[in-house]
Amino acid sequence: MSHRILPLSPTWSGDVLEALILEAAGLPAPEQPEPERLAPDLPRAELAAAQDRFGRSLHAARIGTRRGEYVAVWLESGVEAEVDAAWAAGPERAFWLHAVARSLCLATVRDVAPEVAAYGCAAVPGPDPELAAALRLAGLACGDMGEGHAVPLLGRRYAVVTWAFAGGCGKCALASRCPRPGFAPERASAEFDPGQ
C-alpha cells in the first residue's frame, strides 16, 4: 500500500469557533456580545477552558493515497469521556461541551481545507483500504473500509474525514441520499469551482 501522512497545525480564530458553537446550539450570534458569556448558560471562561483542554487532544492530518488526498481531523477518546461524564451530571453543560468538541473539529477542517468552508460541505469519501490503513497509522481507529461499506467507519465520535478537495458532491459517498436542501445530483460535479 502506498500512502502519505502529513500532520497539520490548524490556526482557526476564536471568533470562528464561537460562531460554530452557537450554530451547533441553534442560537443566533448575539447583536451585543457579552464579554463574560457566549450564551446565557455558557461563561466564556468555561468555553476557553474546554477549548484549551480539547485542543490538546486535537489531531489533523492530510493523507494521500492512490485514490486521492484526504483531510482527517479528530479528538482523542478522553474528550468523549468528559462529554459522557457531563451528560451523566446533567444535560446543560454536556450539550455545550459537545458543541465545543464538534465545533473544534469543524473549525479545524475549515482551516486546513478552506475549500470545504467555501463549499459548505465536507464530502464523505467512499471505501478506500489505503485510507483506512493510513488513518490507523495516524492514530484514528477505523473499520476496514473494504467494499460493502458505504462510508468510513471511524472509531472516534468527534472526527471528520473528507476529501482534501476534489469536486465536492461529485466524489461524496453520500451524494445519492444527501440531506442538503436543493441538492441535484445532475449538477453535483459543477456545483463548486475551486478556481473561483
Task: Note the pLDDT tens digit of each residue in 105-123.
Answer: 888 888 888 877 777 778 7
In a domain, 195, yes or no: no
CB burial of 74-108 (b: ≥16 within 10 Å; e: otherwise) equals bbbeebbebbeebeeeeeebbbbbbbbbbbbbbbb
- What pLDDT, on a 0 to 100 scale, did the predictor assign at position 96? 86
- What pLDDT, on a 0 to 100 scale, did the predictor assign at position 79? 95
Helices (H) and strands (E) in the chain, counts: 6, 6
In a domain, 196, yes or no: no
Expressed as residue numbers, the domain containing 143 is 4-190
CA separation for the pair 137, 155 (Å, rounded): 13
- What pLDDT, on a 0 to 100 scale, did the predictor assign at position 191? 44
- What pLDDT, on a 0 to 100 scale, did the predictor assign at position 18? 74
* CATH, residue 123: 3.40.109
Least confident interval from 8-17, 55-64, 68-77, 127-136:
8-17
- What pLDDT, on a 0 to 100 scale, did the predictor assign at position 5? 62
Question: What's the pTM value of the predicted model, to 2 decimals?
Answer: 0.77
Total domains present in the chain: 1
Task: Note the pLDDT tens digit of each residue in 122-159.
Answer: 877 877 788 888 888 888 877 655 555 545 567 788 99
Q: Which of these, 17, 159, 157, 23, lies nearest to 87 by C-alpha position?
A: 157
Given a cut of 90, whether residue 67 has pLDDT beyond it is no
